[in-house]
């Protein structure tokens, strides 16, 4: 994936100031707080209402990890059903996903399984996923218990966080954990000499089978 980074790096002539670039997608039902979550992380700001995202939007944040500058290009997607086909197109090439639901909304939690299937269908095999239950500050209106969230995440093999963009709970931790997982996976693949990773401009394999299940991570 380092090479994929290089490809992007060349194109982004304005900002060469990083060692790696990770592309991360935030997905989940409409109004679960994806945009807020991203703004909290990237700008450390919170507004009770952002305009509903049309299509796809992004923000950039550069962090340091193991003495490496990692540029995160975080894509924020529209959650509406109608935008699914458009946003899934961007799944390819994403190294990490934040799959988000709203703990005050049952539907958004029920849709997690679907979203996870979408990831497996359209993303790279090595893409890492984190499950996030957002709006944990609204304890009064909670309908999805943390246990249910945890159970589902274990079932899907993702790591799990409950977070609040409003109260700034676990936002930074979520992103940093995702970056760590990606880094681990990357060094694993590089060590194994996996051609799928070391090969130049690696793309997905066009197989009819869905991607193999992701490695289970201990939460």
Partner 1 sequence: VLSVFQHEADVFEITDFTTASEWERFVSRVEEVLNDWKLTDSSVDRSAPQKGDFTTGSWEEESKEIHFADFKFLITHYLLKKESKNNEEQDKQAEDALPAAMQDLLCMQNDFPPRAHCLVRWYGLQEFVVITPATNSEAIISESKCNLLLSSVSISLSNSGCQVPVFVQIQQKWRRIYAGECQGPGVRTDFEIVHLRRVPSQYNHLSGLLDIFKSKIGCNMLPLPPVDIAIRFTYVLQDWQQYSWPQQPPDFDALLGGEVGGVEIGKLPFGACEESISELHLAATWPHVTEGIVVDNDVYSDLDPLQAPHWSVRVRMAENPQCLLGEYLTEFFRLCCRKESVEDVLGIGLTDEEGRETGDISSALSKLTEPAAAVPISRLSVSSMVHSARKRIHRRRHIHESPLSNEILNSILLVSLTKVEAFPPSERWSLFLQLKSAPPDSLTYRLALCVFLVNYSYGGLAGVAHLWQEFVLELRYRWENTCLVYGFMLIFVAYAAFLIPCNLNIHSLLVVTGQMLNCCIERRRARDEARKAQEATKQSKEAESELSAKETSQGKSWESWSDSEEEFYECLSEQGEDGPQTEAGQNGASRAEGRLHPYNNLTLLHSSEPLYVPVTQEPAPMTEDQLEEQSEVLAKLGTTAEGTHLRARMQSACLLSDMESFKAANPGCVLEDFVRWYSPRDYVMEEVVDEKGNKVTRGELSTRMKIAGNMWVEAWETARVTPARRQKRLFDDTKEAEKVLHYFAMQKPGDVACHLFSCVIHAALLKLNPAVRKSRFFGNKRNRICSQLAGMETAIAQARSLKAKFTFNNEDQSEATELKKFVSSLLEEPEVEVTGAGQGPAGRIIHRLFVNAQQAALLPLPDEDVGGDKKDFPPPAGREILLRTCVPRPAPYSRSLPQRLFCVLMREEFRLAGAFSSDTSFF
Q: Write out the residues near partner 1 by the rule CB under 8 A.
A: 11-12, 29-31, 42, 48-60, 73, 80, 82-83, 85-86, 88-90, 92-93, 105, 121-122, 199-208
Minimum CB–partner distance for residue 18 and partner 1 (Å): 14
Closer to partner 1 at the Cβ: 86 or 190? 86
Measure the CA–CA gap between 20 and 191, rounded to whole angstroms.
17
Report the residue number, 157 or 204, with the smaller CB distance to partner 1.
204
Q: Tokens 């197989």, residue?
A: 207
Task: State the minimum distance, in angstroms, from the CB of residue 89 to partner 1.
Answer: 4
Smallest gap from Cβ 208 to partner 1, in A, equals: 7
Please give the distance of CA 196 from its chain centroid, rounded to a whole number.
Answer: 21
Write down the least CB distance from residue 110 to partner 1, Å: 13
Q: Which helix (H) or strand (E) holds 180?
A: helix 171-191
**What is the spatial order of strands in the sheet that 128-134 belongs to?**
56-65, 68-77, 20-28, 96-102, 128-134, 159-162
Taking the complex as a whole, the smallest distance from the CB of residue 102 to partner 1 amounts, in Å, to 9
User: What radius of gyration do the chain's Cα atoms show?
Assistant: 17
Q: How far is CA 115 from the centre of its chain?
A: 12
Encoding tokens for residue 136? 């944990």
CB-wise, 113 or 205, nearer to partner 1? 205
Is 56 or 146 the residue whose CB approaches partner 1 more closely? 56
Residue 50 or 157: the one with the smaller Cβ distance to partner 1 is 50
- The H-or-E segment that residue 129 falls in is strand 128-134
End-to-end CA distance of the chain: 25
């Amino acid at each position: 994936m380092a090479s994929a980074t290089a490809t992007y790096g060349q194109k982004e002539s304005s900002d060469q100031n990083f060692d790696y670039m990770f592309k991360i997608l935030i997905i989940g039902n409409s109004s679960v707080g994806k945009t807020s979550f991203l703004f909290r992380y990237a700008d450390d700001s919170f507004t009770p209402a952002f305009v509903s995202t049309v299509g796809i939007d992004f923000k950039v944040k550069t962090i340091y990890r193991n003495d490496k500058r990692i540029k995160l290009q975080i894509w924020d997607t529209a959650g509406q059903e109608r935008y699914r086909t458009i946003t899934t197109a961007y799944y390819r090439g994403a190294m990490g996903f934040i799959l988000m639901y709203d703990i005050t909304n049952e539907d958004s939690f029920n849709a997690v399984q679907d979203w996870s299937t979408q990831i497996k269908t359209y993303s790279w095999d090595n893409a890492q996923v984190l499950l996030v239950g957002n709006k944990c500050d609204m304890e009064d209106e909670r309908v999805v218990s943390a246990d249910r969230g945890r159970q589902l995440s274990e079932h899907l093999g993702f790591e799990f966080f409950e977070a609040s963009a409003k109260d700034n709970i676990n936002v930074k931790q979520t992103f940093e954990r995702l970056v760590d997982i990606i880094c681990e996976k990357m060094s694993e693949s590089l060590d194994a000499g996996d051609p799928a990773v070391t090969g130049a401009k690696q793309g997905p394999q066009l197989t009819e089978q869905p991607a193999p299940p992701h490695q289970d991570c201990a939460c």
